[in-house]
């Protein structure tokens, strides 16, 4: 084994038993100073009480304090509830401060507060706390959207999305959405507004409408705004500007998200007007825009086949040829990660359009599992994942809004024993990792061996 690998393995092994090794070293130091007879820890303690060596007594006191700390941690499970309450109070105080800072005169302070709110709302479930302060919070976000610049407007739209995820589809969420919907549309359709702000507003408009829109009129109006953006993309020589590609990509994804909750009559009209025009976006230079268009095409085919099992467009053969080219694209002028991502997604798109088979995904969170088994579910999950980032699994566990959307039922209430039983032990994890490491090493050595036959 190379020296660096031995060192890494030793470090990893040492970190797993840091406390026990530290205690043994301290005891060895005591034994060197006091020269104890071979025996138990009780013998060492007895000699330390009669010892006149100050250094040895210091070491023993350090050992005893370390053991006391360990016992406090082990026996302090009863204080977990109190610690959680203290942490929650501190978090709520910080939230109140950030909401107050949204009305500060300094734009730097407002941007910093918006960034802190985005981080907190994406990683914690605070629906009740936010519902009590929704009016103050909404007024502050409205001010940021109206008077702020590009960065501030973008962050405010993102925080608005997270606020709707927290409040849900009840009266509180509807009130917030109806208040800020006209401002989102105004920024999105304003060509003089910042590109980043327009992109965030497109995402927020689709996500907030998906969650909080109670009337069909709200859904239709939001779809109309997003389709107007798509018509700009369809027009000749448009959508090639790098500064607008992110905004068009967000508009397509939000439009596709809202299509998942549209009635059959609206879907039929959408198929007639967009199914023949959307494949033209596949020739765009932006990888993300091509991927968004490809996933939306697969979504449209899925919605159409839900209405008619034998649905098949006249341009399906031509579309499949284009999809095959994108699924096997090997142009060197594109980044390797972009080529890999594009090939993977377009293989799934092509496979579904040809055979109506979806590649199922598994999402694990806590002790639960969610199966993404359709393009509708995939688009919905991707939208929330983009908004919540790494906090999406926490929200899937505890946020009733997301659990209702994905039909997961009420949040599970588990005791400590159930949680502990669901986790793999450290010894089992170590054995599993060791076996996987050995198997991987053998497989790589066979490939690296010069005597191996290369076919």
Say if 61 falls within a structural domain: yes
Q: Which of 206, 237, 262 is the last residue of a domain?
A: 262
Q: Are residue 245 and residue 138 in the same domain, yes or no?
A: yes
Q: What is the pLDDT of residues 79-123, one digit of tens each?
A: 667 887 888 888 889 999 999 999 999 999 999 999 999 999 999
Q: Are residue 240 and residue 205 in the same domain, yes or no?
A: yes
Q: Are residue 69 and residue 97 in the same domain, yes or no?
A: no
Single out the residue of 177, 201, 178, 204 nearest to residue 188, CA to CA.
Answer: 201
CA–CA separation, 380 vs 332, rounded Å? 33
- DSSP, res 288: H
Cα dist. 70→19, 38, 44, 67, 76 in Å? 9, 26, 20, 5, 10
What CATH number should be reported for the domain holding residue 115? 1.25.10.10
Considering only residues 412 and 211, tell me which one the structure prediction assigns the higher pLDDT.
211
Single out the residue of 408, 394, 409 nearest to residue 165, CA to CA.
Answer: 394
Q: What is the pLDDT of residues 31-48, one digit of tens each?
A: 554 444 334 333 434 444
Highest mean pLDDT among 227-236, 372-381, 407-416, 437-446: 372-381
Single out the residue of 444, 368, 367, 351 nearest to residue 359, CA to CA.
Answer: 351
What is the percent of the chain with per-residue pLDDT over 70, rounded to a whole number?
76
Range of the domain at 31: 21-73
Q: Are residue 208 and residue 251 in the same domain, yes or no?
A: yes
Considering only residues 388 and 441, tell me which one the structure prediction assigns the higher pLDDT.
388
Say if 64 falls within a structural domain: yes
Say if 56 falls within a structural domain: yes
Q: Are residue 97 and residue 222 in the same domain, yes or no?
A: yes
Residue 223: CB atoms within 10 Å: 19
Say if 227 falls within a structural domain: yes
Exposed, middle or buried: residue 147 (CB in 10 Å: 0-12, 13-18, 19+)?
Answer: exposed
Q: Are residue 237 and residue 105 in the same domain, yes or no?
A: yes
Q: Are residue 97 and residue 230 in the same domain, yes or no?
A: yes
Say if 233 falls within a structural domain: yes
Say if 123 falls within a structural domain: yes
Q: Which of 262, 288, 305 is the last residue of a domain?
A: 262
CA–CA separation, 267 vs 374, rounded Å? 17
Q: Is the pLDDT of residue 229 over 60?
A: yes
Q: Are residue 154 and residue 123 in the same domain, yes or no?
A: yes
Say if 6 falls within a structural domain: no
Q: Are residue 112 and residue 69 in the same domain, yes or no?
A: no
- pTM score of the predicted model: 0.75
> What is the model's pLDDT at position 240?
56
Q: Are residue 66 and residue 107 in the same domain, yes or no?
A: no
Say if 7 falls within a structural domain: no
Structurally, the chain folds into a number of domains equal to 3
């Amino acid at each position: 084994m190379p020296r660096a690998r031995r060192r890494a393995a030793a470090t990893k092994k040492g970190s797993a038993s840091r406390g026990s090794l530290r205690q043994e070293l301290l005891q060895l130091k005591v034994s060197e100073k006091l020269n104890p007879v071979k025996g138990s820890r009780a013998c060492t303690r007895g000699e330390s009480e009669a010892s006149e060596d100050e250094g040895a007594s210091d070491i023993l006191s350090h050992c005893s304090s370390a053991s006391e700390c360990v016992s406090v941690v082990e026996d302090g499970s009863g204080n977990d509830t109190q610690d959680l309450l203290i942490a929650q109070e501190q978090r709520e105080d910080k939230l109140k401060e950030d909401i107050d800072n949204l009305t500060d005169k300094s734009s730097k302070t407002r941007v910093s507060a918006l960034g802190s709110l985005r981080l907190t709302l994406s990683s914690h479930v605070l629906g009740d706390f936010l519902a009590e302060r929704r009016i103050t919070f909404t007024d502050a976000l409205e001010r940021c959207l109206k008077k702020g610049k590009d960065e501030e407007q973008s962050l405010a739209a993102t925080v608005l999305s997270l606020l709707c995820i927290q409040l849900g589809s009840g009266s509180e969420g509807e009130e917030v959405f109806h208040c800020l919907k006209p401002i989102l549309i105004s920024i999105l359709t304003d060509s003089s507004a910042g590109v980043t702000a327009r992109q965030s507003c497109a995402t927020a408009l689709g996500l907030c409408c998906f969650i909080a829109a109670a009337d069909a009129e709200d859904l239709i109006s939001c779809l109309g705004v997003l389709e107007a953006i798509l018509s700009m993309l369809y027009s000749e020589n448009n959508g090639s500007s790098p500064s607008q590609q992110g905004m068009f990509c967000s508009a397509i994804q939000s439009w596709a998200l809202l299509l998942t909750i549209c009635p059959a009559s609206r879907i039929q009209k959408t198929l007639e007007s967009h199914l023949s025009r959307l494949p033209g976006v596949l020739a765009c230079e932006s990888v993300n825009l091509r991927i968004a268009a490809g996933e939306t095409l697969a979504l449209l085919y899925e919605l159409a086949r839900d209405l008619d099992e034998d649905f098949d467009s006249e341009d399906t053969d031509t579309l499949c040829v284009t999809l095959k080219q994108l699924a096997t694209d090997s142009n060197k002028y594109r980044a390797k990660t972009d080529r890999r991502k594009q090939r993977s997604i377009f293989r799934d798109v092509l496979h579904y359009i040809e055979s109506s088979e979806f590649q199922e995904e598994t999402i694990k969170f806590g002790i639960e599992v969610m199966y993404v088994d359709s393009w509708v579910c995939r688009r919905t999950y991707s939208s929330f994942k983009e908004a919540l980032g790494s906090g999406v699994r926490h929200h899937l566990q505890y946020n009733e809004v997301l659990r209702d959307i994905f039909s997961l039922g009420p949040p599970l209430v588990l005791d400590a024993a159930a949680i502990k039983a669901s986790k793999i032990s450290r010894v089992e994890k170590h054995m599993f990792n060791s076996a996987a490491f050995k198997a991987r090493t053998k497989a790589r050595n066979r490939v690296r061996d010069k005597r191996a036959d290369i076919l």
